Amino acid sequence: MKRRTFLKGTIATSMVGVAVSAGMLSPRAVLAAWPESSFAAKKIEDALNALHGTSAHSESGDIKIKAPDIAENGAVVPITVSAGGNAEAITVLVKENPQPLCCNFELASNAEAFVSTRIKMGKTSDVVAVVKSGGKLMSSAKTVKVTIGGCGG
Amino acid sequence: MASKSIRIRANLKGDVTEVKALMSHPMETGLRKDKKTGEKIPAHFIKEVTAEHKGKSVMVAHWGVAVSKNPYLSFKFKGAAAGDAIKVSWVDNKGESDSEETTVK
C-alpha cells in the first residue's frame, strides 16, 4: 500500500511539473514561431525559402498592390495587398531593403486575402507581395520611388 | 509598455468584417544612431500580432523591423456577427506585450 501511495504521489507531482513547464514554455514557443532566419535573409529568394520552404513563385495579375508611386517619406509607406478569394499567407518584401522580408501574415480559412499596413523603405525599390494559396506562391511587384529613406543612417 | 497601446475598430459590411488596428510602438530597427551620442539605438519592434475572433485565431502576423513606427494593420474576414468579440494582441522582441478587445459593429 505504501508503495502505491508513493507512486501515486510521484505521478501527481510529475503531472504538475509537466503542466508548469508547459505553461512556462508556451510564451517561448510563441517567440520561436517568429521566422528569424527568413527575416535575417538578405535576398528575397532566401527569405521565401526559409519562410515557405520554396522560393518558386509565379507572377499573378490577381494580386493587387496598392502603394504610392512616389513615397516622400520612406519611413511610412502605406501598402495594401489584396487578392481574390482566400489565401493561407500574404508576405510583403522590399527588394532593396537590408533585410527584404518586411512582414508575413498568416490567415485563417475564413479570412479574406487582404492586408493593409505601413512599411519602411530604405530607398526606391520594388515592393513584392507574395500570396500563398493552395500551397502555391504567387507574386506581384510594384516599384515605389522613395525620396527620403526610412531605414536610419 | 503603457496600457492602451492598441486602438481597434471592427466594422461589419455585408458578411465581411474589416478590422483596423493602430498600435503605438517605436519600432526601432537597430540601425539608427542616436544623434547626440553616436551610439546605436537597440532594435525594439513588434514581432508578432495575433487577432482572435471569439477566441479563434483569424490572423497571425510576423513582423520585422521594416514595419513603420506606430504600426497600422487592417485585414478582413468572414463569419462574424455584430457584437462578437475581437481581440488583437502583440508581442515585441523584448518580450513586452499588450492586447485590446472590441466588439464588431
ipTM at complex level: 0.86
Q: Does B52 touch chain A (CB under 8 A)?
A: no
Residue A71 confidence (pLDDT) above 70: yes
pLDDT band for position A38 (50/70/90)?
confident
- Give first-to-last CA distance, chain A, whole Å: 73
pTM of the model: 0.78
Helices H / strands E in chain B, number of each: 0, 7
Ranges of each domain in chain A: 1-33, 36-148
Provide φ and ψ at A2, rounded to 5°. -60, -40
The per-residue DSSP string of A60-122 comes to -TT-EEE--SEEEETT-EEEEEE-SS--SEEEEEETTSSS-EEEEEEE-TTEEEEEEEEE--S
Number of A to B CB contacts under 8 A, please give it.
119
Measured CA to CA, the distance from residue B31 to residue B22 in angstroms comes to 24
Range of the domain at B13: 6-29+40-103
Predicted pLDDT of residue A2 = 62
CB-based contact A117:A55 (threshold 8 Å): no
Predicted pLDDT of residue A12 = 58
In a domain, B65, yes or no: yes
Predicted pLDDT of residue B3 = 57
CB contact (8 A) between residue B58 and residue A77:
no
Mean pLDDT value of segment A40-56? 84
Q: How many CB atoms lie within 10 A of CB A9?
A: 10
**CB neighbour list of residue A74: distance below 8 Å, 6 or more residues apart:** A120, A121, A122, A123, A146, A147, A148, A149, A150, A151
Give chain A positions within 8 Å (CB) of B33: 152-153
For residue A50, the surrounding DSSP H or E stretch is helix A44-52
Closest approach of chain A CAs to the CA of B1, in angstroms?
17
In a domain, B34, yes or no: no
> Can you identify the CATH homologous superfamily of domain A36-148?
SoxY domain (2.60.40.2470)
Q: pLDDT tens across A74-133, in order?
A: 889 999 999 887 888 899 999 888 888 899 999 888 888 999 999 998 888 999 999 988
Q: Does B79 touch chain A (CB under 8 A)?
A: yes
What CATH number should be reported for the domain holding residue B63? 2.60.40.10
Domains of chain B: total: 1
Measured CA to CA, the distance from residue A38 to residue B10 in angstroms comes to 31
Q: What is the mean pLDDT of each run of 10 residues along chain B (105 residues)?
A: 76 91 88 81 89 89 89 91 90 88 89
Residue A150 confidence (pLDDT) above 80: no
Task: Out of A101, A106, A150, name the one closest to residue B64 (CB).
Answer: A101
**CB neighbour list of residue B47: distance below 8 Å, 6 or more residues apart:** A31, A34, B62, B63, B91, B92, B93
In a domain, B35, yes or no: no
